[in-house]
Amino acid sequence: MTPTTSYYPHKTTSDLRASLVLFQLLSFPFFVRIALFAWRLIDFFRIPLSPFIRLTGYYQFCAGKDVTSCAEITSRMADFKVKSVLDYANEHSENETDFDQNTSAILQTIRAAAKSNVYPFAVLKPTAIGSFLLFEKKSNGISFNDAEVIAWKQIKSRLESCASLAAKSGIVLMVDAEESWIQLGVDALVLPVLKRFNTERVVVAITLQFYLKGTFDTYKQLIDDASQYSLGVKLVRGAYIEKENKRAKSLGISSPVCDTKAQTDNQYRQALALGLENLPKHLCIIATHNEPDIQWVTQSCKQNNILLNHKNLWFSQLYGMRDYISFSLASLGANVFKYVPFGPLRQSIPYLMRRAIENSSVKSQTTLERKMLKEEIARRKTNA
Ligand SMILES: Cc1cc2nc3c(=O)[nH]c(=O)nc-3n(C[C@H](O)[C@H](O)[C@H](O)COP(=O)(O)OP(=O)(O)OC[C@H]3O[C@@H](n4cnc5c(N)ncnc54)[C@H](O)[C@@H]3O)c2cc1C
């Protein structure tokens, strides 16, 4: 995609050079393996990380340690019409204290969104507010013991407090999708809340993963039912492919994930077509870094006279990844937001590790990022 102004208008040239070095390093799987090992050691021995923050990739993929410190970056992006959604990067939470802290961080992001049109949505990851094992038990229809009954009520109350604040604040709260084997439990929690709050407008939006077989049919059914409540969906391919396949193998069951990337791509494309056809009926958030898909959507909008800034159509990419796509879309007039992770450095490490693994395992990803960064640096040199 070609932006009208700059591929990375929110970054200085020295930021771009730092990104280039990082993506260069991420293109060496051996380096990434060593870095992951070093991170684990640093975390285990509680070695202070702050002096090395520039070496961790933190500034490439995270915007700050708290909501306030993210404002500099998010308002800079908003100057170029790219909005943000603050995503509290606290993965692997384990206890009630963590879940309560995460909930209060999510509530802060909703309050920030209520005050600023830089943040059109907020986001919540189910396992940030409740135990993975509890969602798994619920999915498998296993009865809870007394303590678990109380814990489940707590999860429900955390979700309700976020949804209620989002409702009062005029914000959409997106719920992320995680591993397939906890999804029934997540649905049991989220869908009743969604139906209760989504009467006049979308307050709670859900995520559909199209690497899972049969998700297109689920989407179609949701759209058919959309007359009963307001529907909002985020369309993703799915982030947990290795875990899904590994688990299926270890249990000797067939994987819920499509057998090939082409099948996932095909299902995702069908979903995009269905989403565009039914835009008047629901809020559709296209969350992908896949350039051919995004080009296909912009072309389809043109052919079918759908405005790229249709109020029900949004595009989204992760902060620090495919920034040039986000700014290009915004320069074409589309509604775009970046998923912007934030949180203290130590707590963000699992998120940074995921980004490192994702970038190093798909070589074309780092190659493309580096190509775009180099082009932008060269362009700025010529224009200087
Ligand atoms: C804003 C945003 C929000 C997101 N939220 C979520 C979320 O809530 N839950 C979630 O799970 N993910 C989420 N993701 C991540 C997303 O699911 C993808 O992992 C990521 O975006 C890469 O896919 P892609 O569509 O961008 O591009 P591509 O690079 O074209 O696709 C890569 C994806 O294709 C699929 N794939 C790869 N190889 C195969 C194979 N052999 N067989 C079958 N399928 C294959 C996998 O899903 C893989 O991630 C989000 C992404 C974004 C940008």
How would you write the pLDDT of the chain (384 residues) with one tens digit per residue? Answer: 655 567 899 899 998 998 888 888 888 877 777 777 777 777 777 777 666 666 667 778 888 889 999 999 999 999 999 999 999 987 778 899 999 999 999 999 999 999 999 999 999 999 999 999 999 999 999 999 999 999 999 999 999 999 999 999 999 999 999 999 999 999 999 999 999 999 999 999 999 999 999 999 999 999 999 888 999 999 999 999 999 999 999 999 999 999 999 999 999 999 999 999 999 999 999 999 999 999 999 999 999 999 999 999 999 999 999 999 999 999 999 999 999 999 887 777 777 777 777 776 666 778 888 999 999 999 888 887
Cα of 82 from ligand 1 centre, angstroms: 21
Query: What element of type H or E holds 324?
Result: helix 323-331
Cα of 300 from ligand 1 centre, angstroms: 22
Cα of 297 from ligand 1 centre, angstroms: 17
Cα of 237 from ligand 1 centre, angstroms: 4
Ligand 1 atom with the smallest distance to the CA of 209 is 11
Q: What is the side-by-side strand order in the sheet with 231-236?
A: 82-88, 336-342, 313-318, 282-287, 231-236, 204-209, 172-175, 121-124
Cα of 236 from ligand 1 centre, angstroms: 6
Q: Which two tokens stand for residue 334?
A: 């589309």
DSSP 212: B
Indicate if ligand 1 lies below 6 Å from the C-beta of 315. Answer: no
pLDDT 10s digits, 265-324: 999 999 999 999 999 999 999 999 999 999 999 999 999 999 999 999 999 999 999 999
Q: Please give the pLDDT value at position 136.
A: 97
Q: Please give the pLDDT value at position 51.
A: 62
How many residues comprise the chain? 384
Q: Whose CA is nearest to atom 38 of ligand 1?
A: 261
Residue 197: closest CA among 124, 286, 280, 270: 124
Contact 285, 236 (CB under 8 A): no
d(CA 128, CA 103): 8
Q: Please give the pLDDT value at position 5.
A: 64
How many CB atoms neighbour CB 140 within 10 A?
A: 11
Q: Whose CA is nearest to atom 49 of ligand 1?
A: 239
Indicate if ligand 1 lies below 6 Å from the C-beta of 257. Answer: yes
DSSP 281-322: GEEEEEE---HHHHHHHHHHHHHTT--TT-TTEEEEEETTSS
Q: Whose CA is nearest to atom 3 of ligand 1?
A: 287
Residue 337: closest CA among 157, 155, 109: 109
Which of helix, strand or coil describes residue 283? strand
Indicate if ligand 1 lies below 6 Å from the C-beta of 209. Answer: yes
In sign, the C-alpha dihedral spanning 338, 161, 97, 175 is negative
d(CA 304, CA 315): 18
Q: Please give the pLDDT value at position 93.
A: 80
Q: Whose CA is nearest to atom 25 of ligand 1?
A: 288
Cα of 115 from ligand 1 centre, angstroms: 31
Ligand 1 atom with the smallest distance to the CA of 268 is 25
- From 176, 216, 237, 325, give the residue whose CB has the most ligand 1 atoms within 8 Å, as the site to mutate: 237
Cα of 143 from ligand 1 centre, angstroms: 33
> At what angle are helices 67-78 and 96-115 packed, to 10 degrees?
40
In sign, the C-alpha dihedral spanning 27, 33, 34, 38 is positive
Q: Please give the pLDDT value at position 28.
A: 80
SS3 percent helix, strand, coil of the chain, rounded to 5, is 60, 10, 30
d(CA 282, CA 278): 7
Indicate if ligand 1 lies below 6 Å from the C-beta of 260. Answer: yes
Residue 358: closest CA among 315, 328, 316, 322: 322
Phi first, then psi: give them for residue 323, nearest 5 degrees. -60, -35
Q: Whose CA is nearest to atom 40 of ligand 1?
A: 261
In sign, the C-alpha dihedral spanning 169, 132, 143, 206 is positive
DSSP 199: S
d(CA 249, CA 296): 35
Rounded (5°) CA angle 218-283-341: 95
Cα of 57 from ligand 1 centre, angstroms: 21
Q: Which two tokens stand for residue 67?
A: 């909501």
Indicate if ligand 1 lies below 6 Å from the C-beta of 180. Answer: no
Beta bridge partners of 87: 341
Cα of 253 from ligand 1 centre, angstroms: 22
d(CA 177, CA 124): 10
pLDDT 10s digits, 325-353: 999 999 999 999 999 999 887 777 777 77
d(CA 130, CA 152): 8
Cα of 340 from ligand 1 centre, angstroms: 17
Q: Please give the pLDDT value at position 183.
A: 97
Q: Whose CA is nearest to atom 36 of ligand 1?
A: 261
